[in-house]
Amino acid sequence: MLLNGSEILVNTLLDEGVDIIFGYPGGSVLNIYDTLYKYEDRLRHVLTCHEQGAAHAADGYARATGKVGVCIATSGPGATNLVTGIATAYMDSIPMVAITGNVTTPLLGRDSFQEVDIVGITMPITKHNFIVRDVKELQDTIRKAFYIAKEGRPGPVLIDIPKDITAKMAEFEHKEALKVEANTKYITEKALENLATFINESKRPLIYAGGGIISAGASEALKNLAEKINAPVATSLMGIGSFPGDHELYTGMIGMHGTKASNLLATKSDLIIAIGSRFSDRVVSSKNHIKNAKIIQIDVDAAEINKNIKADAYIVGDVNSTLERLLPLVKENKNEEWIGKLKEFKALKAPKNHETYDLTPEFLFNKLNELTQGDAIISTEVGQHQMWTAINYKFMKPRTLLTSGGLGTMGYGLGASIGAKLAMPDKKVINIAGDGSFSMNAIELGTAVFNQAPVIVIILNNGCLGMVRQWQTLFYEGRFSNTTLNRGTDFVKLADAYGAKGFRVTEEEQLEDVLKEAFESKVPVVIDYMINKDKKVFPMVAPGAPISEIISEE
């Protein structure tokens, strides 16, 4: 059948199984939006308040569901407003397709009104990107974009479509989405046997699990391996949820704000089994800091092997397939002496800070754990509250923590929570924020209210940029340059202005009733949870220091 470019785009999105797209209209995408109007009963469009919110919502949708998130924006500033969200998805390997309009093909490269080279701008932060100059290539380009976004190590792909392409006509026929096969080419018996030898000879193995476990759907295989060899499991920030938070072998996050158990076990281990993880600088700064351990690495992306830490053995390939084939080659092991060390380190308690505060993050998360039992999707912004979430909330399942790990994007969490809630309306979705981060994209409360997405925002309000202030305290002799906010924003009144509910919590006795009311609310809720500006995130390791040098109090 003969369709115009906009109709080809929308029909191909439907063929790819897309049910929601997040976006903001403008001149260069008017033809697309005219078609969306005609297809509104089949494809839901969510109008955000800002294009960055659309990108974060698509990202949150993808993290919560495992499907490709889709966002759309017009040319020029609309396209550039997507950039931070695309970079966020790229750094955390999140499958996303971003669609941008552009000026008509004759005007490309002429500095036309609202023209930017968005393909050039996003080249370093996408797996691939396209500009479509022939309407006959549009359908295949979209299909390739979805395949690339999902295949191997997931990531964002951008499609730039000039306005005249959206109006031109071409033949179209419905096609099934390109099938993504697990990458198993290099998972050979020899390579598996080599890894198994390292594991079978180890007396003190530690599994270091990253976000690649979640991307590959390998949580069950990870659990089976850990239990068979009785190995402690530490996760990166992105790996949280890949292993049950209440499991006796789970030691928590590793690295700069990792638990004592995870960090100390890493320095005592004779074998670190890194799975779907990349040894970022926030995990371990140098091989010298874990010099007692051999390193084996399993990752779908060959570029991550030996990039930060040299591996003694590795396999490049699908993580789930690798673990399933590795498991029969691995011998059962009780590792009783090593497990004794695990119990010893887990029993270490951080010394109490000499300060006492009326409200603490720990009290909040204890209450959230009690009321949700891990059955909630938690998004975060970036800062102290993000680390308190990672340390204190018990994540039981994969795809329940939505957070910007690699890029550290303040303003990420609210958009992500909306994307997750619209994808999974029956789930409790909670965004943990700081007052600094929340202020960046608070306008997306309007999106949540209008789209009847009753997300819960809990602002750990300390009147400052808490993490930066913590660094200024510890490493800059308390010179608080431009980190004290105290803007006087009344977040309760702000919530009310948007049509949401607002609560302020200043005493412990208030919290449970407020949370219970929030969980029953049919509209978004903002909880202004007041904490002291000098409350810090511990444990902590100074940048560049060995992970065993743990700061646990001032």
**Given this model, what pLDDT does residue 357 score?**
66
Peptide bond into 205 cis (omega under 30): no
Q: Give dist(CA 281, CA 382) in Å, integer.
A: 17
Instruction: Answer positive or negative: Cα dihedral of 322, 241, 456, 492.
Output: negative
Which member of 7, 16, 22, 51 is catalytic? 51
Q: Give dist(CA 445, CA 171) in Å, integer.
A: 42
Residue 291 has pLDDT above 90, yes or no: no
The residues near 336 (Cβ < 8 Å, ≥ 6 apart) are: none
Instruction: Answer positive or negative: Cα dihedral of 61, 66, 70, 76.
Output: positive
CATH of domain 2-171: 3.40.50.970
Which member of 114, 228, 394, 538 is catalytic? 114
Given a contact cutoff of 8 angstroms between Cβ atoms, the answer to whether 431 and 455 are in contact is yes
| Inter-CA distances, 425 with 271, 369, 517, Å | 42, 20, 17
- What is the band of 285 on the pLDDT scale with cuts at 50, 70, 90? low
* Averaged pLDDT for residues 534-553: 89
Concerning whether 253 is annotated as a catalytic residue, the answer is no
**Given this model, what pLDDT does residue 350 score?**
57
| Inter-CA distances, 528 with 263, 363, 406, 431, 520, Å | 33, 15, 27, 12, 18
Which member of 113, 370, 508, 553 is catalytic? 113
Instruction: Answer positive or negative: Cα dihedral of 485, 489, 492, 494.
Output: negative
CATH 3.40.50.1220-classified regions of the chain: 189-346
Structure-block tokens of residue 353:
């800070």
Concerning whether 114 is annotated as a catalytic residue, the answer is yes
Given a contact cutoff of 8 angstroms between Cβ atoms, the answer to whether 188 and 321 are in contact is no
Given a contact cutoff of 8 angstroms between Cβ atoms, the answer to whether 99 and 9 are in contact is yes
Q: Give dist(CA 211, CA 227) in Å, integer.
A: 20
76 sits in the region (left: phi over 0; alpha: psi -120 to 50; else beta) called left
**Given this model, what pLDDT does residue 295 score?**
95
Given a contact cutoff of 8 angstroms between Cβ atoms, the answer to whether 217 and 66 are in contact is yes
**Given this model, what pLDDT does residue 137 score?**
98
| Per-residue pLDDT tens over the stretch 167-202 | 999 999 999 999 999 999 999 999 999 999 999 999
Q: Give dist(CA 271, CA 97) in Å, integer.
A: 38
The candidate with the shortest Cα–Cα distance to 15, out of 4, 27, 7, is: 7
Query: Phi, psi at residue 520, to the nearest 5°?
Result: -90, -10
User: Mean pLDDT over all residues of the chain?
Assistant: 95
The residues near 27 (Cβ < 8 Å, ≥ 6 apart) are: 74, 75, 101, 114, 163
Given a contact cutoff of 8 angstroms between Cβ atoms, the answer to whether 385 and 460 are in contact is yes
Concerning whether 472 is annotated as a catalytic residue, the answer is no
**Given this model, what pLDDT does residue 113 score?**
86
Query: Phi, psi at residue 401, to the nearest 5°?
Result: -115, 120
Residue 289 has pLDDT above 80, yes or no: no
CATH 3.40.50.970-classified regions of the chain: 2-171, 361-537
**Given this model, what pLDDT does residue 107 score?**
78
| Inter-CA distances, 22 with 53, 96, 196, Å | 8, 11, 45
Which member of 127, 163, 535, 536 is catalytic? 163
CATH superfamily ID and name for 361-537: Thiamin diphosphate (ThDP)-binding fold, Pyr/PP domains (3.40.50.970)
| Per-residue pLDDT tens over the stretch 13-61 | 999 999 999 999 999 999 999 999 999 999 999 999 999 999 999 999 9
Residue 422 has pLDDT above 90, yes or no: yes
Place of tokens 């919590």: 505
Axis-axis angle for helices 51-65, 413-423 (nearest 10) = 50
Residue 100 has pLDDT above 70, yes or no: yes
* Averaged pLDDT for residues 444-461: 98
**Given this model, what pLDDT does residue 343 score?**
94
| Inter-CA distances, 167 with 79, 83, 206, 429, Å | 20, 26, 57, 39
Given a contact cutoff of 8 angstroms between Cβ atoms, the answer to whether 225 and 313 are in contact is no
Q: What is the model's pTM?
A: 0.95
Q: How big is the CA angle at 125 (ends 124 and 126), to the nearest 5 degrees? A: 105
Alpha helix ranges (H) inside 313-429: 319-326, 336-346, 361-372, 384-392, 413-423
114 sits in the region (left: phi over 0; alpha: psi -120 to 50; else beta) called left
31 sits in the region (left: phi over 0; alpha: psi -120 to 50; else beta) called alpha
Structure-block tokens of residue 294:
């051999």
Amino acid (1-letter code) at residue 115: E
- What is the band of 211 on the pLDDT scale with cuts at 50, 70, 90? very high
Residue 283 has pLDDT above 60, yes or no: yes
Residue 255 has pLDDT above 70, yes or no: yes
Which long-range contacts link 325-329 to residues 24+ away (Cβ below 8 Å)?
Answer: 325/187, 325/192, 326/192, 326/195, 326/196, 326/225, 327/221, 327/224, 327/225, 327/228, 329/192, 329/193, 329/195, 329/196
| Per-residue pLDDT tens over the stretch 360-399 | 999 999 999 999 999 999 999 999 999 999 999 999 999 9
CATH class for domain 189-346?
Answer: alpha beta
| Per-residue pLDDT tens over the stretch 312-370 | 999 999 999 999 999 999 999 999 999 999 999 999 865 555 456 689 999 999 999 99
Q: Give dist(CA 112, CA 104) in Å, integer.
A: 9
Concerning whether 491 is annotated as a catalytic residue, the answer is no
Which member of 96, 238, 253, 467 is catalytic? 467
Concerning whether 51 is annotated as a catalytic residue, the answer is yes
**Given this model, what pLDDT does residue 353 score?**
52
The DSSP call for residue 126 is S
